[in-house]
Copies of this chain bind each other. A is one copy, B any other.
Amino acid sequence: MATQPDTRTEARTPLSRERVLQAAIGLADEGGVDAISMRKVGQELGVEAMSLYNHVANKEDLLTGMVDAIVEEIPPFTPGLDWKTALRGRALAARDVFKRHEWAPRVIETRTDMTPPMLAYMDSVVGIFIQGGFSMDLTHHAMHVLGSRAFGFTQELFKETDEFDENDEMAMLLMQQMLEPYPNILAMAMSADHEHERMLGPGCDDDLEFVFGLDLILDGLERLRDRETEGADAAG
């Protein structure tokens, strides 16, 4: 309304890559990955979409910048622990961060190039294996088996598959009927340990499954490492 420049309006602070990234992250945290478009991010900042191109090459660059910012939230590696607890700590610290940004895993999987923050994090994980007496070859395999687990997440298939309430008899019956052609899944679903978890729905404890899998893999790797050094002892 005022023809004079208003020096004390809220939207005073100038744009910057940092501000663009943070606005986009905020949007994604609230509304998921679909909530982020150049136009909406611009709007969030009180600016036209085209202005963003002064601080970000394009949408891909924006997305990459967003995940970089997330990865940099992971606390730095503190050495001195044995390899297994170090690795567990690393994965769980990363997991903690990704939990605050549920859109991030999906976006990471669409990145094609490694970025410095990603490389830095990976380097710390690789270092733990090497320090722990793993051969280069086994370390390499280890990174592959861990996959995204090294970053503290696993992409669940059919995350929200069914949110049935185990106290709702009607819903239980409906589920039983739906699963009738799949007797093995049905058996598994019905016998779920009601103290700790269930097969389907929000009662299935993601954290528990994560560490179960992580520990299974770490134990397996440890066994391979020991067998490897045994072999070397025998041969050398």
Pair A188/B220 contact, Cβ less than 8 Å: no
Pair A182/B147 contact, Cβ less than 8 Å: no
| A113 neighbours in B (Cβ, 8 Å) | 158, 161-162
Pair B127/A184 contact, Cβ less than 8 Å: yes
A213 at the interface (CB under 8 A from B): yes
- Majority SS of interface residues in chain A? helix
In the bound complex, what is the Cα–Cα distance between A224 and B178 (angstroms)? 31
Q: Which residues of A contact B (CB under 8 A)?
A: 106, 108-114, 116, 118-120, 122-124, 126-127, 130, 136-137, 139-141, 143-145, 147-148, 151, 154-162, 179, 181-185, 187-188, 191-193, 197, 199, 209, 212-213, 216-217, 219-221, 224
* A123 → B minimal CB distance (Å): 4
* A58 → B minimal CB distance (Å): 15
In the bound complex, what is the Cα–Cα distance between A187 and B139 (angstroms)? 11
Given known A120-B182, A185-B126, contact A158–B220 (CB-CB < 8 A): no
| A199 neighbours in B (Cβ, 8 Å) | 140
Pair B213/A112 contact, Cβ less than 8 Å: no
In the bound complex, what is the Cα–Cα distance between A179 and B11 (angstroms)? 41
| A139 neighbours in B (Cβ, 8 Å) | 188
